Structures are given as C-alpha cells and as structure tokens.
Structure 1
C-alpha cells in the first residue's frame, strides 16, 4: 500500500527553482533513502512533505488523503514525524523531559515515563536521561531528536541527516535501530553516509538540481552511471 505520494511537487524561492515536478511514492513499511548533492532540494522536498514549507504547486497525499493544505502540526497528528519538525531540543531541560514533551501528544500519566525510558533506551541514551539536553554532544542531541520522534509511534518517520555528528560505533547502533524500526514504521531517510544508505534502505531516490535523477535498490543506484557522475563522484 502507498502511504505517501506526491505529484508535480514544486517549490521556487524568489525565482530560484528548488524542486521541480517531483512525483514520489513511498510504500508502507519501506525504508527509503533520499540522497543527492548539496543543494539538490532534499530538505526542501521533505519540508513540503511534512508541512514546514508550502509548495508552489503540486500535491501531497498521506494515507489516501490530500494533505497539501494541512499545517505541520496536523500532519503530526495523522502519524507523520519529522526530526526537525516535531523537535526543538530544550537545552535547559533534561533529556527525559524533552522526550516526555513529545510523548504527551498521545499519552498520559505513568505511560509517559515508561514510553520515555523505552525511547531513550532504543537510541542508547537511557543513562543520560537526567542530563540537560544542552550538555549533550551534538551527535547525542541528534539521537535525542530521534527518541522524540520514536516516542510518538509514527506511521512515517522522517530523519534528516540523523548520523551527522555520530561516532562510528554510534552509526553502527543507528543502522541496527533502523533495521529494528522498519517493522514498526515507514522511514524516509535523508543521509549522506553511503554505508548507512546501502545497509538500511530498501530503495533509494536520488535528487539532482531539484529533480528526481534515479530511483532503485541501493545496488542499482550504486551502479547507475548518471548517479555516479552527479553524486558519487566516480563518473
């Protein structure tokens, strides 16, 4: 079943065409990686999908409903979570309270604390639950953002550069987490780390100059001459 689809999705900023006529389909239960060179339009596309950026033209459908005009907070209520949309890490609050703020969108009472500890444990931050978020390293703040997404049990979890700032051991743990989550949620992953893409994604979409350059399995994308030339740098 198609969970998310866009048709003719475009965005221009003061004459700059950031995204052009993107048709995109994401099946339920899939892990999809979105890759491309800097400035390819990845974050703009995802911003339109999650409601942070209004499109200049085109449509977005989620769970068979047209959500093009819905604001971001209503998309969250429908089961869409985006690490930079649902979270804004509060530096002076403990890590656990940051996650609890997200959990209270759907839970109450004792269920909140149980869900918070589960989410922190899954991203490897349970031992830091009482630390102020602002004292965490950049990489750990990214993991905290992911915990804030997980605690809402979204149908679609959108992660924008989640491994940036992580140590190699933490990246390995992140790959395992994505494999685990793939049975619970559909995942859209913007990622530059190609080992993460190759090891976790079912399919890959490549953007270049705001347009879809290629789609396919990680192996197909790796062997695509146009992708090699535009992005992987070996063409």
Structure 2
C-alpha cells in the first residue's frame, strides 16, 4: 500500500474539521476524493502532504511513518501536490516555472528536456516563453500540473485541477489522467462529477469530516447515502 492513513483527525479552535479518517491508496490507482463544500477534503489532503499537522492519527507512505515529516521532505520522498489556489511564479516564464520544479531531481540539460516534455503533456508547449502570470486561470492550473509531473512523483495530488478549464481543456485533462494512470498514483480532489466518473478507479466520499463511502464510480453513483449528502438526488 503506497499511502495509508489511520485515525486522522484535525480540529481548529474546537471545530472538528476531520474526524478519525482511515484511508488506503494502492500504488498505481487513480483515486477521487469528493464531498460537499466544507466536508474536510482540503484539510485531509493538507495533512497527507504535510502542510497541516494532524491533531491525532498517522500517515504512512510506502511503509514509512511520515506523520511528523514536513511538506518539503515529503516532496523528496515522491509526493507532489498542486494547490486549489495556484502557486506559480507569475513573473517567470512558463518554462522556467517547470524547470525550477525539475531541478529538485535533475541537473543540466536534463532539466530543459523534462520541462519541455511536461509542458507538452499538459498542452502548454506553445506558451513556454510567456510569463506565467499572463496565462489564463485555467492555463495556470495546467502549469501547476506540469510542475508536479516534472518531479516524476510516486503520488500526484491534484486539488480541483479542472477549475477554470474550458470544456476542451477538461477533455484533454481526462486524457492526461488516463495516460498517467500507468505511471503514477493519483489522488484527485474534484467537484466535476463527469471527470470523477470517467477517470477514477475508486471514489472516496468525505462528509462532515468523516469517510461516508468508498467504491467504484458506479457504486458511489448508486449509493443512497452519497446521493443524499452530495449528488443531490436523495
């Protein structure tokens, strides 16, 4: 099991954001994490990637307890996380943004080659020389994905990646996820249910900080509790 979460909880000033979550993510799987706004998804992912310290519980990555490991050290272990709010360097060219991320694992000409490949995969090769801040919001999200991909992560965590993308870009994103499925493990936090249903192997549903259900996209779609809590058909 690549990622194992046990009893993970987080409270902020007495408010229980995440409560006793158990979560297993096998290597090579595309897992979608869904739930209503305020369900605790971003808090849970923040604890997994090391940006939020849990109140209790453990996070294990590839057999190692990383619960107290800071975020930058988790990156070195093979985790990459794209933010719900873009975290690019707006005054640097698109290519240089990706190259900076690539230098965490590569040197010399290999950096340029890897950056170019990553930009090609997300459809931004033509924008390589533009300042990142001049990109549309949707293209900035794609740039973030390229910055994650170029690190060759073992676990790629994508937080609302299709927000701001056009229909055509969403179709390209779905194709990218399908292509990546054999290369890396993906944890996808996503509100677009069409994207979830068409790309995920397994779906985990968070509600009021607790794990409500897990299953295949079809099982989740047919789950009465999920329909009532999230899909709006209950």
User: TM-score scaled by structure 2?
Assistant: 0.99
C-alpha distance in 2, partners of 1:197/1:212? 17
Can you give the 5+ residue segments of structure 2 that lack an aligned partner in the other structure?
none
Deviating beyond 3 angstroms after TM superposition, the runs of 4 or more aligned structure 1 residues are none
3-state SS of 2:2 partner: strand
Task: Tell me the CA shift for residue 197 of structure 1.
Answer: 0.3
Q: Provide the secondary structure at the position in 2 that maps to 1:25.
A: strand
In the alignment, structure 1 segments of 5+ residues that lack a partner are none
Q: CA deviation at 1:84?
A: 2.3
Query: Which SS does the other structure have where 1:38 is aligned?
Result: coil
**3-state SS, counterpart of residue 59 of structure 1:** strand
**SS across alignment from 1:23:** strand
1:53 is paired with a residue of what secondary structure? coil
Q: For 2:141 and 2:204, how far apart are their aligned partners in 1?
A: 23
CA distance in 2: counterparts of 1:232 and 1:115, whole angstroms: 39
Distance 1:112 1:219 in 2: 41
* 1:42 aligned partner: 41
Compute the displacement of 1:52 (Å): 0.2
Equivalent residue runs for 1:112-131 within 5 Å: 112-131=111-130
Q: 3-state SS of the aligned residue for 1:115?
A: helix
* 1:156 positional shift: 0.1
Report the equivalent of 1:91: 90
The alignment status of 1:148 with 2:147, answered yes or no, reads: yes
- Report the CA distance between 1:88 and its aligned residue: 2.6
SS in 2 for 1:213: strand
Partner of 1:51: 50
1:193 corresponds to: 192
- Deviation string, structure 1 residues 175-200 (Cα, Å, up to 9, x no partner): 00000001100000000000100000
Distance 1:88 1:162 in 2: 13
Match of 1:110 in 2: 109
Query: Who is 2:205 aligned against?
Result: 206
- For residues 115 and 88 of structure 1, what CA distance do their matches in structure 2 show? 20
Count of residue correspondences? 233
- The root-mean-square deviation of aligned C-alpha atoms, in Å, is 0.9
In structure 1, what is the Cα distance between the partners aligned to 2:64 and 2:88?
Answer: 31
3-state SS of 1:220 partner: helix
With normalisation by structure 1, the TM-score equals 0.98
Match of 2:211, SS? strand
The CA distance in 2 between the partners of 1:140 and 1:88, in whole Å, is: 12
1:214 Cα deviation from its structure 2 partner: 0.3
1:162-173 mapped onto 2 (5 Å cutoff): 162-173=161-172
